[in-house]
């Protein structure tokens, strides 16, 4: 395969609400560009980008896949720079809310986002989410209204929902020809031609004059487009006022600039399943979407986690090599596969860059590009290109590698905290032995997953972003690593905190035989803001406790807090101020002060009005209008607070804040309440106090589950 230079590369993130047709769209673009010989279908499990067995089984995208089309623009939206092939890299991202973590993390590699919208549903909650990711990474955003052939597809309504939510800068580049099953293509408003496609054809249109019935509407839409493009560009504005229009080439160039400056969000139309609109869209990606260098400079730091001095890097071959790892896959056969973007310089096969994050060097043998699961070895990758390499030893997601003489660290990816925890039980003894190593591999590819063992109940706990997320992990463990687990109902991750202040002494003194043990500390406890965790403050003056034992006190307090006070849930959001103590030259030790810290903490908790905290979820329910009353009533009865509702077409969106503990069986209730016509999303919002009468029950139940009074032992 040809090595594409930066100017001939496009990195396009395909993102949107679940089931809008992202994977199908990538499939139709790959087929149209001749990258596949058959139009792969999601329903048949034959697309390039949904290749994982779980994805095929569930018919949804679970993790981002890479694919590419080599496409020479065919002049469909103006002559442009026709002829030269462009390599369009697609990042086909998940749309289901449970898997949006991965979407957010992988869009870091995109230089523009193409947001897929369902022609019947219009803008949905996922649409807004991915739009926000585009803003977070500061990249241009365009829309494709897909599924135009769908029954009840409605261009006007979908377009209206886009401009209502995202503003008038979302501008149509096309008007539809035909509707629902009769959808045949679109008027291109740049060239003012009709692009007519054969359904289930080769994805390339016949060019015709605009049908008379659409002439008037096309003219008006063309003028709007011209005006929007010219706005903000004085030279174009002048030309526009003089001539009343713009020549095609100026319009297309102006559009490119306005798009890249994020002044315009173009909207195009497709039917991915029937391969309508594909070539026009490929031309748009090649001719109007930015190449990686057009983002200006990449910004990193001299130290990891955005610490140290800021370093700017031009995204160009002429700069020193730097590559950023945005994803890791654990393949049971190929081993670890590392997905990266070349941020600057040229990466040659067999290079041995420094891993700046880990302080080691890695040999990159067999650098490759991905067409779904299929890897093709390449001799080199230029600045801006995306690639993978297998079997790196010490490189993980979020690492920066590069030329040893020019270190740089790109920002670490955002990791979402898990919002749901399940207990998993190994089915056999053999499963129990295998669970650790197997999960370890999955954790590497999925930073939003947490695995732990409850110290009291000895249960294995898997925490993730939703039930489906955990189910997929359990299925992967079974298929890839032959580990069988039973899933137990989710646990509410309660926490404990304090409402009042305390001042307590912890005294550990043992004088029996040989060496004694001695340590005394005085600690004040104070409530701290929600989300701050534990803050330990050393306020010792005059050496009442020697410096080297102070961390021991802190460890004792933290370990005790982790084990909980009321019901075994971690105690958070408090300050522990160590301000006095006593020691003994011979008998004091690390252990003695750990125990003293732990005793002071427990004593303090008794005075500090301990309280239970529970997670509250932000819930959005999407349902046909007529159910809105039932849905709100039900959420209120779950101790929910309704934050509002919004009507979009025939759909009502109810937004509420509800304790997680009350949402465990919600899916079942909602389905029976609406005959399966509603969906909902739920994400962690914040922690708040559990009302007293409920707290009592939770505490009793937690103690019963542990089969013991919460530990009273003194050992740390």
Ligand X SMILES: Nc1nc2c(ncn2[C@@H]2O[C@H](COP(=O)(O)OP(=O)(O)OP(=O)(O)O)[C@@H](O)[C@H]2O)c(=O)[nH]1
Residues that bind ligand X (CB under 6 A): 16, 18-24, 42-43, 60-61, 94-96, 146-147, 149-150, 271-273
Cα 358 to Cα 468: distance, rounded to the nearest angstrom? 33
DSSP state of 111: S
Cβ distance to ligand X smaller for residue 116 or 557? 116
Q: Give the CA-trace dihedral at 315, 320, 326, 329, to 10 degrees.
A: 130
Q: Which does 271 bind (CB under 5 to 8 A by kind): Mg ion, ligand X, none?
A: ligand X
**Pairing between β-strand 460-464 and β-strand 206-208 as defined by DSSP bridges:** unpaired
Smaller CB separation from Mg ion, 48 or 315: 48
User: For Mg ion, which is the closer residue by CB, 11 or 61?
Assistant: 61
Say how far apart CA 34 and CA 121 lie, in whole Å. 31
Q: In what order do the strands lie in the sheet with 574-582?
A: 502-510, 517-527, 574-582, 534-538
Which of the listed partners (Mg ion, ligand X, none) does 146 bind, with a CB threshold of 5 to 8 Å by partner kind? ligand X
Contact stretch for Mg ion (CB under 5 A) within 54-62, 130-138, 383-391, 479-487: 54-62
Question: Using CB distances below 5 to 8 A depending on partner kind, what does residue 441 bind out of Mg ion, ligand X, none?
Answer: none
Helix (H) or strand (E) holding 488: strand 485-491
Positive or negative, the Cα torsion across 601, 604, 608, 611? positive
Q: How far apart are CA 180 and CA 183, in angstroms?
A: 6
Q: Give which of 472, 441, 465, 471 is closest to 328, Cα–Cα.
A: 441
Residue 240, contacted partner among ligand X, Mg ion, none, CB below 5-8 A by kind = none
Q: 482 pairs with which residues across the strands?
A: none
- Least separation in angstroms between residue 664's CB and ligand X is 24
Only one of the segments 20-28, 109-117, 354-362, 659-667 lies at the binding site for Mg ion (rule: CB under 5 A); that segment is 20-28
Three-state SS letters, 307-321: EEEEEEEECCCCCCC
Q: If you count them, how many residues does the chain have? A: 716
Which CB, 271 or 679, lies closer to ligand X? 271
Phi-psi region at 508: left, alpha or beta (left = phi > 0; alpha = psi -120 to 50):
beta
Q: How far apart are CA 45 and CA 62, in angstroms?
A: 14
Q: Considering only residues 8, 11, 20, 23, which one is a binding residue for Mg ion as defined by CB under 5 A?
A: 23
Q: Cβ of residue 154: shortest distance to ligand X, in angstroms?
A: 14
Residue closer to Mg ion by CB (options 59, 263) is 59
Q: Are the beta carbons of 1 and 375 closer than 8 angstroms?
A: no
Partner touching 265 among Mg ion, ligand X, none, CB below 5 to 8 Å by kind: none
The interface partner of residue 273, options being Mg ion, ligand X, none and the CB cut-off 5 to 8 Å by kind, is ligand X
Contacts of residue 712, Cβ cutoff 8 Å, sequence gap at least 6: none
Q: How many chain residues touch Mg ion (CB under 5 A)?
A: 3
Min dist CB 50 to Mg ion, Å, is 6
* Nearest Cα to Cα of residue 275 among 18, 39, 16: 39
The answer to whether the beta carbons of residues 421 and 453 sit under 8 Å apart is no
61 interacts with Mg ion by CB under 5 A: yes
Measured from the Cβ of residue 709, the count of other Cβ atoms closer than 10 Å reads: 8
Q: What are phi and psi of 356, to 5 degrees?
A: -65, -35
CA distances 340 to 99, 327, 490, Å, are 20, 7, 35
> Least distance to Mg ion from the beta carbon of 56, Å?
11
Quickly list H helices, 211-366.
212-230, 234-243, 248-260, 278-287
Query: Which run of H or of E encompasses 303?
Result: strand 297-303
Stretch touching Mg ion by CB under 5 A, among 57-65, 139-147, 255-263, 469-477: 57-65
Beta carbon of residue 22, minimum distance to Mg ion (angstroms, whole number): 5
Of 60 and 439, the one with the shorter C-beta distance to ligand X is 60
Residue 197 contacts which entry, ligand X, Mg ion, none (Cβ below 5-8 A, type-dependent)? none
Beta strands (DSSP E) in 660-700 are: 679-689
Min dist. Cβ of residue 155 to ligand X (A): 13
Measure the CA–CA gap between 708 and 716, rounded to whole angstroms. 18
147 binds, among ligand X, Mg ion, none (CB under 5 to 8 A by kind): ligand X
8 lines the binding site for Mg ion (CB under 5 A): no
Our finding on whether 388 is near Mg ion (CB under 5 A) is: no
Residue with smaller CB distance to ligand X, 29 or 461: 29
Query: Which residues 6+ apart lie within 8 Å of 217 measured at CB?
Result: 175
Distance in Å, CB of 105 to Mg ion, minimum = 16
Contact call for residues 425 and 488 (beta carbons, < 8 A): yes
**Minimum separation from the CB atom of position 678 to Mg ion (A):** 22
Nearest residue relative to ligand X (C-beta) = 95
Pick the closer one to ligand X by CB: 20 or 127.
20
Of the ranges 17-25, 263-271, 287-295, 498-506, which one interacts with Mg ion (CB under 5 A)? 17-25
CB 616 within 8 A of CB 658: yes
Q: Under rule CB under 5 A, which residues in 393-432 are in contact with Mg ion?
A: none
Minimum CB separation from Mg ion for residue 371, in Å?
16
Nearer to ligand X, 14 or 286 (CB): 14
**According to CB under 5 A, which residues from 267 to 326 bind Mg ion?**
none
Task: Write down the least CB distance from residue 14 to ligand X, Å.
Answer: 8
Measured from the CB atom, is 116 or 123 closer to Mg ion?
116
The residue range among 56-64, 106-114, 203-211, 384-392 that interacts with Mg ion, by the rule CB under 5 A, is 56-64
Instruction: Fill in the per-residue mask, 98 to 117: x = in contact with Mg ion (CB under 5 A), - = not in contact.
Output: --------------------
Residue closest to 339 by CA, chosen among 301, 296, 313, 373: 373
CB of residue 276 to ligand X, shortest distance in Å: 8
Which lies closer to ligand X via its Cβ, residue 94 or residue 140? 94
Q: How far is the CB of 13 from ligand X (least distance, A)?
A: 13
- Output 22 or 476, the one with its CB closest to ligand X: 22
Give the shortest CB-214-to-ligand X separation in angstroms: 21
How does DSSP classify residue 271? B
Sole window of 23-31, 392-400, 547-555, 614-622 interacting with Mg ion (rule: CB under 5 A): 23-31
Nearer to Mg ion, 103 or 191 (CB): 103
Query: In terms of DSSP bridges, do strands 368-371 and 450-453 run parallel, antiparallel, or are they unpaired?
Result: unpaired
* HEC string for 125-165: HHHHHHHHHHHHCCCCEEEEEECCCCCCCCHHHHHHHHHHH
Residue 41 CB, nearest approach to ligand X (Å): 6
Pick 103 or 388: Cβ nearer ligand X:
103
CB of 157 to ligand X, least distance (A): 17
Q: Which of 10, 17, 22, 441 binds Mg ion (CB under 5 A)?
A: 22
Closer by beta carbon to ligand X, 114 or else 470: 114
Q: Are 92 and 67 in contact (CB under 8 A)?
A: yes
The dihedrals phi and psi of 168, each to the nearest 5 degrees, come to -75, -5
**What residue ranges bind Mg ion (CB under 5 A)?**
22-23, 61
């Amino acid at each position: 395969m040809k090595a594409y230079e930066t100017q001939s590369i496009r990195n396009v993130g395909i993102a949107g609400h679940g089931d809008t047709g992202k994977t199908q769209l990538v499939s139709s673009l790959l087929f149209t560009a001749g990258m596949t010989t058959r139009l792969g279908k999601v329903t048949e499990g034959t697309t390039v980008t949904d290749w994982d067995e779980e994805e095929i089984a569930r018919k949804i995208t679970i993790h981002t896949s890479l694919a590419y089309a080599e496409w020479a623009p065919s002049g469909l939206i103006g002559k442009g720079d026709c002829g030269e092939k462009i390599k369009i890299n697609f990042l086909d991202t998940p749309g289901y809310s449970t898997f949006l973590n991965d979407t957010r993390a992988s869009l870091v590699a995109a230089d523009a986002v193409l947001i897929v919208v369902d022609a019947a549903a219009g803008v949905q909650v996922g649409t807004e989410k991915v739009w926000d990711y585009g803003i977070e990474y500061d990249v241009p955003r365009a829309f494709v209204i897909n599924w135009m052939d769908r029954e009840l597809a409605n261009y006007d309504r979908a377009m209206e929902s886009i401009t209502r939510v995202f503003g008038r800068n979302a501008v149509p580049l096309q008007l539809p020809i035909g509707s629902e099953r009769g959808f045949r293509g679109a008027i291109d408003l740049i060239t003012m031609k009709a692009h007519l496609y054969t359904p289930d054809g080769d994805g390339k249109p016949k060019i015709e004059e605009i049908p008379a019935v659409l002439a008037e509407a096309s003219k008006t839409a063309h003028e709007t487009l011209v005006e929007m493009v010219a706005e903000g560009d004085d030279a174009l504005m002048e030309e526009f006022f003089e001539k009343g229009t713009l020549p095609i080439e100026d319009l297309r160039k102006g559009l490119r600039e306005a798009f890249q400056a994020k002044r315009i969000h173009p909207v195009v139309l497709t039917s991915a399943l029937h391969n309508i609109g594909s070539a026009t869209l490929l031309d748009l990606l090649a001719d109007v979407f930015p190449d990686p260098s057009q983002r200006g400079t990449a910004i990193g730091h001299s130290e990891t986690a955005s610490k140290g001095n800021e370093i700017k890097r031009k995204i160009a071959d002429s700069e020193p090599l730097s590559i950023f790892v945005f994803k890791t896959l654990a393949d049971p056969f190929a081993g670890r596969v590392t997905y990266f973007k070349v941020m600057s310089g040229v990466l040659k096969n067999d290079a041995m860059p420094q891993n700046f994050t880990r302080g080691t060097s890695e040999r990159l043998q067999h650098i490759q590009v991905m067409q779904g699961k299929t890897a093709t070895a390449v001799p080199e990758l230029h600045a801006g290109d995306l690639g993978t390499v297998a079997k790196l030893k010490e490189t993980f997601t979020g690492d920066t590698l590069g030329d040893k003489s020019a270190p740089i660290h790109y920002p670490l990816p955002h990791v979402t905290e898990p919002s749901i925890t399940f207990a998993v039980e190994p089915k056999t003894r053999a499963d129990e032995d295998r669970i650790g190593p197997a999960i370890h591999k999955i954790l590497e590819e999925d930073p939003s997953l947490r695995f732990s063992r409850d110290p009291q109940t000895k249960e294995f706990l898997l925490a993730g972003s939703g039930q489906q997320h955990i189910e997929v992990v359990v299925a992967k463990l079974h298929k890839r690593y032959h580990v069988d687990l039973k899933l137990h109902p989710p646990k509410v991750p309660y926490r404990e905190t304090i409402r009042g202040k305390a001042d307590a002494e912890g005294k550990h003194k043992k004088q029996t035989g040989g060496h004694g043990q001695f340590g005394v500390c005085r600690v004040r406890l104070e409530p701290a803001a929600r989300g701050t965790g534990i803050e330990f403050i050393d306020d010792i003056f005059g050496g009442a406790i020697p410096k080297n034992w102070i961390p021991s006190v802190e460890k004792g307090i933290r370990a005790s807090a982790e084990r909980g006070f009321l019901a075994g849930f971690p105690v958070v959001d408090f300050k522990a101020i160590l301000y006095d103590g006593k020691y003994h030259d011979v008998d004091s030790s690390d252990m003695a002060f750990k125990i003293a810290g732990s005793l002071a903490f427990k004593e303090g908790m008794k005075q500090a009005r301990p309280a239970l905290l529970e997670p509250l979820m932000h819930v959005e329910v999407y349902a046909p209008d007529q159910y809105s009353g039932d849905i709100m009533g039900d959420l209120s009865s779950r101790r929910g607070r309704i934050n509002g509702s919004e009507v979009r077409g025939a759909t009502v969106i109810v937004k509420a804040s509800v304790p997680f503990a009350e949402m465990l069986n919600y899916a079942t209730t909602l389905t029976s309440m609406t005959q399966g016509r509603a969906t909902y999303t739920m994400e962690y919002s914040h922690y708040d106090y559990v009302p007293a009468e409920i707290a009592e029950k939770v505490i009793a139940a937690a103690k019963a589950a542990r089969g013991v009074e919460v530990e009273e032992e003194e050992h740390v």
